[in-house]
């Protein structure tokens, strides 16, 4: 029971990070129906900007962890968002109206470019850093096993919940959210009604990238080590989360993220850690085969 | 150019600003390890500033060229290229390349309208048309003749032959994937998994059971095809982009299984001392194992390490050409036309009574089969394989070859393989930027030439024979 | 119902209690009608009346929520139990689409050859024999090309045979799509608004083509159409749908006078259809 609780706490933490990345996939898919394959790389860039941000903070002598976190969070969100914006502008926007698979192929290209760009600029080695929140407390002890919650896990969950709530409100209540939903329904009609479709799509990418940046920062703080390749696996797992939850659905992305976190942590904890990624990939395949609309998504009706 | 100039400057300024924002952290600070002290960083703002300035000038040059102001654009391009290629020492090699290529890009863009006009007049002259048609007809044969003669060319040293074998392997893989992606329109991101299945089939059967290369080759093909059917059956009714992701997942699962199933595959250590291919039982080595003879003994030639390489070269040449022949034949059969029809419109296919699943399955299985055969060759050539050779990026490279070549075009695959595999190997300096160039090429092709280098499609059959010299 | 004594001519297709729901939306509600062989049956009705949904059920793109679709040719086919492509392959029902769906990068001739896929597939021994260029396959292909040439002749596209289908003008694409459907050698041909977007001359040519398909090829036609001039001129039987329900059925002239039909077309909330 104690072991189970500990695994559950770890799973929720990991799931929160996956959920944040998954939102980017889900929003972009919802609005233009493409899998933004480069999104995992955007997350990786966010993690790198956060790493450098934390290092700058310590060079500047900012010792207080909350101040550093808020500063870096802000910086990373803004500068990673520029990546999201640029990618859409350069690699996806010119392809609207091209053949069906063109954006996906272009996205794979972007993903390769970003990986190698960071590898060239920052080197291929693992980068330790971001361990600025230490410690925690014992939740309870049972069967001689301490169930611990670290402060970091609490930070991760709080940041995720606050951002999730904020974004859900934004989509539901603001004009931007309304425009996004309009574009999702019918892009042509929305543009006839005066919605600036290009701008709305750009903003969707910006928002997705900003959330991925947060995930990148939390990932860095949680694992304390990153390299240029982290975006690939994390991206695929987050995409699995988005599909599992029902692609296009924001709560679905979060739910899917949690489930993937749970599956990964429990698989590693109870079966074998070697095959934990196999479990994630298998789930992806099974969900796509048996329930492509996911848990909270709406089934698609084929228009003929 | 008067009134347009301010807006162009503004545009270039904004572009430079965005570039600066993109680069400030990732390029501006370079993190590195100091032993004992942990991670630290250097400032690289000079590099960043030069790169941003280059982008400013580059964008301005492109805008000028787009406006038809050829001379100012050419001057800017020449200045940029001159600095990049010139003797002036910049902080890094990358910046030299960046500026030089930037200059080249502007010059190319400025001359493009003129070059295109020249080309189209040349193409539409009667002579050009005849040449073009004869070229298209004979080009393939000339290439094949050249490929057959290559080992005897004076410049065919070991390095050239090694590279040729590598390029031909990618050509074969490209042709195999072309069936799946180019003809049937199924985006397969896990193609390398079938390559791995073939390679491990050969490695295991030859080291464990002692079977020979020529027996295993078809077995490996069949094995890979069965994997293709096994995967394809449940997933081929998925929509295009979902299919892509599922195949990617499958590719990764195969790789992870290869790493973790240590009893069978020796895990990350891989499989060593895989026997090479034999010719009528003769081995290519200095001394033969008991019961065999070496090729040089059989032929009465002095032993040379090149013999093995030339032998490998001819094997892969024959395998690749067989792949091509097979594909060309299939394209003219109902199943091949159904593949292309599926790529064009699956809904219409269903309305015509074509079974989409079984049609896709044949494409998937045949594509997988060729990958398996190529994998088998790869294992026999390398004599050592490990899961590291079968990562996602390999699938992406093969896909890039197909996409760059022009989906469905067989000759395009050849051109793209030479460009994407050959060029980076010849120009060593580009080596570390190879993957960057790959990714960039994929994006640029999709944006500017989504149909690839060779976009011409030859009909699988004609009602009217082609009139020589006409425009039919 | 199916045990009821047959009318003087047995119907080609019998649609009984067809209902199609999408979530809460009832697109087609308990529609029954029949179409007879060698006749043109038109399904008309205002936009959103459920005409295309009926088509999609017949041709296997949707699985009906309720209802039975019986096709009687050489034997009885229960279409609602068949998979999408089996309806074209076995029951020999062919269709066209509201927005033309050709294979644009393939040539006009190839479009017509692809339509003869199942026949040629058998002739090529599921590709295995065909791979060796055996004579019986070459003959089968030549025969298929002759069928295609006949159709190109009938739709006036012989000269364009080797052009990519996507390059044809719109009217020619529409005709080609019909020819392609006919190349599958169907018993029932379903046309979804074949006259949409055609000019009066093309529309007249289309009428002739459809009549010749009925007379010369003996194929039954099911036709969704907005253009009343087409409907009144060539159809033998008319079914009128409104809001997913059948409101009238009969000969063109009698349907035209039916008060329910006039109400549906001239009624208050479908004003834009009044001109039809």
User: Is the model more confident about B446 or about C48?
Assistant: B446
Own/partner pairs, C80-87, CB within 8 angstroms, 24+ separation? C84/B350, C84/C59, C84/C60, C85/B349, C85/B350, C85/B353, C85/B354, C85/B355, C85/B356, C85/C60, C86/B353, C86/C60, C87/B353, C87/C58, C87/C59, C87/C60
Q: Does A273 touch chain B (CB under 8 A)?
A: no
Residues B267 and B373 in one domain: yes
Among A75, A96, A117, A267, which would you mutate to test the B interface (most chain B Cβ atoms within 10 Å of its Cβ)?
Answer: A117
Q: Which residues of C touch A100 (CB under 8 A)?
A: none
Q: Is A131 domain-assigned?
A: no
Q: What is the pLDDT of residues B420-439, one digit of tens each?
A: 887 776 665 565 677 888 88
| Residues in chain B, total | 472
- Give the alpha-carbon dihedral of C220, C223, C228, C233, to 10 degrees: -10
Query: Which pLDDT score is estimated for A255?
Result: 92
Q: Does C103 touch chain A (CB under 8 A)?
A: no
Instruction: Let me know if B166 is exposed, middle or buried by CB neighbors in 10 A (0-12, 13-18, 19+).
Output: middle
- Is B124's pLDDT higher than 90? no
Q: What is the pLDDT of residues C81-98, one digit of tens each?
A: 878 888 878 878 889 998
Nearest-Cα distance to chain B for A281, in Å, is 5
Q: Which residues of A touch B435 (CB under 8 A)?
A: 112, 115-116
Query: Which range, of B31-35, B130-134, C200-204, C265-269, averages the lowest pLDDT?
Result: C265-269
Nearest to C101 among B345, B353, B356 (CB): B345
Determine, for residues C101 and B348 on separate chains, whether the beta-carbon distance falls below 8 Å.
yes
- Residues B443/A95, Cβ–Cβ less than 8 Å: no
**ipTM attached to this prediction:** 0.87
Structural domain of residue B222, as residue ranges? 155-448
Residues B166 and B106 in one domain: no
- Is C271's pLDDT higher than 50? no
Query: Which pLDDT score is estimated for B426?
Result: 64
Any chains having at least 3 CB pairs less than 8 A from chain B are A, C
Q: Is A159 domain-assigned?
A: yes
Nearest to C58 by CA among C232, C212, C239, C249: C239
Residues B55 and B170 in one domain: no
Q: Does A99 touch chain C (CB under 8 A)?
A: no
Residues B176 and B114 in one domain: no
**Radius of gyration (C-alpha) of chain C in whole angstroms:** 19
Query: Which pLDDT score is estimated for C6?
Result: 46
Query: Which range, of A278-287, B463-472, C74-83, averages the lowest pLDDT?
Result: B463-472
Nearest-Cα distance to chain C for B238, in Å, is 15
Q: Is B467 domain-assigned?
A: no
- Is B468's pLDDT higher than 70? no
Residues C275 and C139 in one domain: no
Q: What is the pLDDT of residues B346-399, one digit of tens each?
A: 889 988 989 998 899 999 999 999 999 999 999 988 888 999 889 888 898 898
Q: How far apart are the first and last CA of chain B?
A: 43
C13-22 and A136-142: which strand pairing? Answer: unpaired
Determine, for residues B94 and A52 on separate chains, whether the beta-carbon distance falls below 8 Å.
no
Determine, for residues C56 and A304 on separate chains, whether the beta-carbon distance falls below 8 Å.
yes
* Mean local confidence (pLDDT), A194-219: 92
Nearest to A301 among C22, C52, C97 (CB): C22
Query: Which pLDDT score is estimated for B202?
Result: 92
Q: In what helix (H) or strand (E) does residue C151 lie, and over which residues does it extend?
A: helix C135-155
How many CB atoms lie under 10 A from the CB of residue A123? 15
Q: Is C214 domain-assigned?
A: no
Structural domain of residue C197, as residue ranges? 1-92+189-201+220-276
Nearest to B333 among C87, C124, C162 (CB): C124
Nearest to C184 among B347, B352, B457 (CB): B352
Determine, for residues A35 and B245 on separate chains, whether the beta-carbon distance falls below 8 Å.
yes
Residues C84 and C197 in one domain: yes
Determine, for residues B350 and C61 on separate chains, whether the beta-carbon distance falls below 8 Å.
yes
Q: Is C196 domain-assigned?
A: yes
- Is A219's pLDDT higher than 90? yes
* Mean local confidence (pLDDT), C54-66: 86
Q: Does A95 touch chain B (CB under 8 A)?
A: yes
Among A98, A299, A303, A304, which would you mutate to test the C interface (most chain C Cβ atoms within 10 Å of its Cβ)?
Answer: A304
- Is A100's pLDDT higher than 70? yes
Tell me which chain C residue has its CA closest to the CA of residue B325. Answer: C131
Query: Which pLDDT score is estimated for B469?
Result: 44
Residues B170 and B110 in one domain: no
Q: Does C53 touch chain A (CB under 8 A)?
A: no
Q: What CA–CA distance (Å, rounded) separates B217 from B438? A: 31
Q: Does B290 touch chain A (CB under 8 A)?
A: no
Query: Which pLDDT score is estimated for C58?
Result: 86
Nearest-Cα distance to chain B for C200, in Å, is 27
Query: Which pLDDT score is estimated for B309?
Result: 84
Nearest-Cα distance to chain B for C275, in Å, is 32
Q: Which residues of B touch A205 (CB under 8 A)?
A: none
Q: Does A303 touch chain B (CB under 8 A)?
A: no
Q: What CA–CA distance (Å, rounded) separates C180 from C154? A: 12
Residues C52 and C136 in one domain: no
Query: Which range, of A32-36, A67-71, B17-21, B405-409, averages the lowest pLDDT?
Result: B405-409
Determine, for residues B446 and A105 on separate chains, whether the beta-carbon distance falls below 8 Å.
yes
Report residue A62: phi and psi, to 5°.
Answer: -85, 105
| Residues in chain A, total | 304
Q: Which residues of B touch A52 (CB under 8 A)?
A: 25-26, 29, 31, 41
Q: Which residues of B touch A302 (CB under 8 A)?
A: 347
- Is B5's pLDDT higher than 60? yes
Residues B248 and B176 in one domain: yes
Query: Which range, of A154-168, B161-175, C218-232, averages the lowest pLDDT?
Result: C218-232
Nearest to A201 by CA among A183, A175, A189: A183
Q: Is B146 domain-assigned?
A: no
Determine, for residues A302 and C61 on separate chains, whether the beta-carbon distance falls below 8 Å.
yes
pLDDT category of residue A107 using cuts at 50, 70 and 90: very high
CATH code: domain of residue A145: 1.10.3470
Structural domain of residue A79, as residue ranges? 2-122+137-290
Nearest to B38 among A98, A112, A128 (CB): A128
Q: Which residues of B touch A102 (CB under 8 A)?
A: 446, 450
**Tokens found for residue C187:** 């018993």
**Tokens found for residue B395:** 């699938």
pTM of the model: 0.85
Residues C69 and C2 in one domain: yes
Mean pLDDT of chain B: 84
Q: Is A128 domain-assigned?
A: no
Tell me which chain B residue has its CA closest to the CA of residue C186. Answer: B352
Residues C71 and C127 in one domain: no
Nearest-Cα distance to chain C for A98, in Å, is 14
Nearest-Cα distance to chain C for A302, in Å, is 8
Residue with structure tokens 């990026």? B393
Nearest to C88 among B352, B463, B464 (CB): B352
* Cα angle, residue B108 at apex, residues B105 and B114 outer, rounded to 5°: 160
Q: Does C61 touch chain A (CB under 8 A)?
A: yes
Q: With helix as H, strand as E and coil as C, how does chain A read? A: CHHHHHHHHHHHHHHHHHHHHHHHHHHHHHHHCCCCCCHHHHHHHHHHHHHHHHHHHHHHCCCCHHHHHHHHHHHHHHHHHHHHHHHHHHHHHHHCCCCCCHHHHHHHHHHHHHHHHHHHHHCCCCEECCCCCCCEEEEEEECCEEEEEEHHHHHHHHHHHHHHHHHHHHHHHCHHHHHHHHHHHCHHHHHHCCCCHHHHHHHHHHHHHHHHHHHHHHHHHHHCEECCCHHHHHHHHHHHHHHHHCCCCHHHHHHHHHHHHHHHHHHHHHHCCCCHHHHHHHHHHHHHHHCCCCCCCCCCCCCC
Residues C112 and C137 in one domain: yes
Residues C109 and C82 in one domain: no
Q: Is C68 domain-assigned?
A: yes
Nearest-Cα distance to chain B for C148, in Å, is 9
CATH code: domain of residue C121: 3.40.50.300
Domains identified in chain C, total number: 2
Residues B212 and B328 in one domain: yes
Nearest to B353 among C126, C149, C184 (CB): C184
Query: Which pLDDT score is estimated for C111?
Result: 93
Q: Is C51 domain-assigned?
A: yes
Q: What CA–CA distance (Å, rounded) separates C32 from C16? A: 4
Tell me which chain C residue has its CA closest to the CA of residue A299. Answer: C23
Tell me which chain A residue has its CA closest to the CA of residue B29. Answer: A52
Alpha carbons within 13 A on the beta-carbon side of C252: 14
Tell me which chain C residue has its CA closest to the CA of residue A300. Answer: C22
Q: Which residues of A touch C61 (CB under 8 A)?
A: 302, 304
Any chains having at least 3 CB pairs less than 8 A from chain A are B, C
Q: What is the pLDDT of residues B165-184, one digit of tens each?
A: 999 999 999 999 999 998 99
Q: What is the pLDDT of residues C88-133, one digit of tens each?
A: 788 788 899 988 899 998 999 999 999 998 888 877 767 666 677 6
Q: Does B138 touch chain A (CB under 8 A)?
A: no
Residues B223 and B168 in one domain: yes
Residues C140 and C72 in one domain: no
* Mean local confidence (pLDDT), A173-202: 83
Q: What is the pLDDT of residues B23-70, one digit of tens each?
A: 889 888 888 887 767 788 888 888 899 889 889 988 888 888 888 787
* Mean local confidence (pLDDT), C54-63: 86
Nearest-Cα distance to chain A for B232, in Å, is 11
Cα dist from B343 to A37, B362, B395, C84, whole Å: 22, 14, 20, 18
Q: Is A303 domain-assigned?
A: no
Residues of chain A above pLDDT 90, percent: 42
Q: Is A129 domain-assigned?
A: no
- Residues C16/C68, Cβ–Cβ less than 8 Å: yes
- Is B7's pLDDT higher than 90? no
Q: Does B342 touch chain A (CB under 8 A)?
A: no
* Mean local confidence (pLDDT), C259-271: 67
Q: Is A299 domain-assigned?
A: no
Tell me which chain A residue has its CA closest to the CA of residue B267. Answer: A274
**Segment 272-301 of chain A within 8 Å of chain C by CB:** 301
CATH code: domain of residue B372: 1.10.3470
C13-22 and C93-95: which strand pairing? Answer: unpaired
Q: Which residues of C touch B406 (CB under 8 A)?
A: none
Q: Which residues pair with C250 in a beta bridge?
A: C238
Query: Which pLDDT score is estimated for B428?
Result: 58
Q: Is A223 domain-assigned?
A: yes
Domains identified in chain A, total number: 1
Domains identified in chain B, total number: 2
Q: Is A154 domain-assigned?
A: yes
């Amino acid at each position: 029971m104690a072991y189970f609780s500990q695994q559950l706490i770890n799973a929720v933490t990991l799931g929160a990070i996956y959920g944040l990345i998954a939102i980017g996939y889900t929003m972009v898919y919802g609005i233009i129906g493409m899998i933004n394959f480069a999104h995992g790389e955007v997350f990786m860039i966010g993690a790198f900007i956060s790493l450098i941000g934390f290092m700058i903070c310590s060079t500047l002598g900012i010792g207080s962890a909350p101040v550093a976190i808020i500063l870096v969070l802000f910086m990373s969100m803004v500068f990673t968002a520029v990546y999201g914006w640029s990618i859409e502008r350069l690699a996806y926007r010119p392809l609207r109206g091209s053949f069906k698979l063109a954006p996906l192929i272009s996205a794979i290209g972007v993903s390769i470019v970003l990986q190698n760009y960071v590898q060239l600029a920052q080197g291929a080695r693992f980068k330790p850093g971001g361990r600025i929140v230490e410690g925690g407390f014992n939740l309870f002890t049972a069967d001689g096993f301490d169930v611990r919650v670290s402060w970091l896990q609490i930070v991760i969950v709080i940041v995720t919940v606050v951002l999730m709530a904020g974004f859900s409100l934004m989509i539901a209540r603001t004009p931007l959210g309304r425009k996004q939903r309009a574009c999702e329904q019918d892009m042509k009609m929305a543009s006839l009604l005066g919605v600036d479709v290009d701008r709305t799509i750009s903003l969707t990418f910006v928002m997705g990238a900003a959330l991925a940046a947060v995930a990148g920062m939390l990932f860095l703080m949680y694992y304390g080590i990153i390299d240029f390749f982290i975006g690939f696996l994390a991206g695929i797992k987050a995409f699995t989360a988005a599909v599992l939850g029902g692609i296009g659905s924001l709560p679905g992305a979060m739910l899917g993220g949690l489930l993937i976190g749970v599956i990964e942590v429990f698989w590693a904890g109870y079966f074998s850690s070697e095959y934990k990624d196999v479990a994630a990939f298998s789930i992806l395949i099974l969900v796509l085969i048996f329930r492509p609309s996911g848990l909270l998504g709406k089934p698609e009706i084929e228009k003929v | 150019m008067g009134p347009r100039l301010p807006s162009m400057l503004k545009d270039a300024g904004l572009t430079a600003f965005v570039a600066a924002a993109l680069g400030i952290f990732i390029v501006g600070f370079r993190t590195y390890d100091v032993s004992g002290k942990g991670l630290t960083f250097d400032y690289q703002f000079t590099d960043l500033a030069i790169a941003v300035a280059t982008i400013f000038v580059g964008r301005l040059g492109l805008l000028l060229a787009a406006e038809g102001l050829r001379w100012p654009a050419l001057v800017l391009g020449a200045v940029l290229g001159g600095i990049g290629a010139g003797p002036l020492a910049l902080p890094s090699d990358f910046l030299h390349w960046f500026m030089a290529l930037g200059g080249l890009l502007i010059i190319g863009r400025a001359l493009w309208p003129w070059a295109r006009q020249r080309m189209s007049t040349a193409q539409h002259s009667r002579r050009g048309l005849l040449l073009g048609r004869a070229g298209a007809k004979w080009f393939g044969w000339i290439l094949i003749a050249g490929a057959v003669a290559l080992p005897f060319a004076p410049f065919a040293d070991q390095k050239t032959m090694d590279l040729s074998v590598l390029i031909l392997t990618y050509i074969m893989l490209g042709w195999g994937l072309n069936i799946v992606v180019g003809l049937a329109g199924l985006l397969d991101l896990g193609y390398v998994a079938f390559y791995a299945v073939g390679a491990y089939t050969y490695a295991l059967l030859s080291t464990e059971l002692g079977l020979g290369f020529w027996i295993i080759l078809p077995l490996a093909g069949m094995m890979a095809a069965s994997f293709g059917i096994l995967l394809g059956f449940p997933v081929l009714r998925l929509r295009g982009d979902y299919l892509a992701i599922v195949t990617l997942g499958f590719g990764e699962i195969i790789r992870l299984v290869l790493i973790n199933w240590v009893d069978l595959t020796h895990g990350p250590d891989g499989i060593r001392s895989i026997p090479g291919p034999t010719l009528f039982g003769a081995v290519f080595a200095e001394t033969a194992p008991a019961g065999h003879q070496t090729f040089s003994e059989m032929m009465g030639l002095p032993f040379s390490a090149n013999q093995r390489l030339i032998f490998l070269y001819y094997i892969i040449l024959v395998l690749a050409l067989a792949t091509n022949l097979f594909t060309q034949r299939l394209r003219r059969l109902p199943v091949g036309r159904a593949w292309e029809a599926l790529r064009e419109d699956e809904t219409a296919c269903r309305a015509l009574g074509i079974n989409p699943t079984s049609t896709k399955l044949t494409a998937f299985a045949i594509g997988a089969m060729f990958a398996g055969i190529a994998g088998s060759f790869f294992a026999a050539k390398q004599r050592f394989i490990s899961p590291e050779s079968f990562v996602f990026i390999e699938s992406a490279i093969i896909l890039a070859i197909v996409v760059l070549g022009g989906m469905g075009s067989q000759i395009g695959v050849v051109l793209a393989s030479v460009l994407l595999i050959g060029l980076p190997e010849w120009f060593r300096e580009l080596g570390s930027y190879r993957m960057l160039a790959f990714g960039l090429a994929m994006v640029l092709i999709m944006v500017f030439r989504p149909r690839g280098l060779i976009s011409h499609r030859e009909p699988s059959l004609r009602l009217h024979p082609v009139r020589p010299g006409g425009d039919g | 119902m199916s045990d009821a004594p047959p009318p003087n001519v047995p119907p080609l297709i019998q649609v009984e209690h067809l209902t199609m729901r999408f979530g809460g939306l009832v697109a087609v509600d308990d529609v029954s009608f029949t179409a007879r062989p060698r006749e043109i049956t038109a399904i008309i009705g205002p936009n959103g009346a459920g005409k295309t949904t009926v088509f999609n059920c017949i041709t296997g793109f949707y699985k009906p929520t309720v209802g039975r679709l019986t096709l009687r040719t050489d034997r009885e086919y229960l279409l609602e139990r068949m998979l999408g492509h089996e309806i074209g392959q076995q029951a020999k029902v062919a269709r066209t689409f509201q927005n033309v769906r050709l294979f644009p990068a393939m040539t006009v001739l190839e479009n017509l050859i692809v339509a003869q896929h199942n026949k040629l597939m058998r002739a090529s021994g599921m590709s295995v024999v065909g791979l060796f260029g055996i004579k019986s396959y070459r003959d089968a292909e030549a025969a298929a090309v002759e069928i295609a040439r006949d159709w190109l002749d009938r739709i006036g596209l012989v000269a364009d045979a080797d052009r990519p289908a996507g390059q044809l003008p719109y009217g020619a694409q529409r005709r080609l799509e019909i020819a392609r459907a006919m190349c599958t050698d169907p018993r029932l041909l379903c046309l979804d608004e074949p006259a949409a977007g055609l000019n009066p001359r093309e529309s007249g040519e289309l009428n002739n083509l459809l009549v010749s398909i009925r007379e010369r090829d003996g194929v039954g036609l099911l036709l969704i159409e907005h253009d009343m001039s087409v409907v009144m001129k060539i159809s033998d039987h008319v079914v009128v749908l409104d809001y997913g329900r059948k409101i009238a059925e009969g000969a063109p002239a009698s349907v035209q006078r039916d008060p329910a039909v006039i109400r549906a077309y001239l009624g208050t909330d479908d004003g834009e259809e009044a001109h039809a």
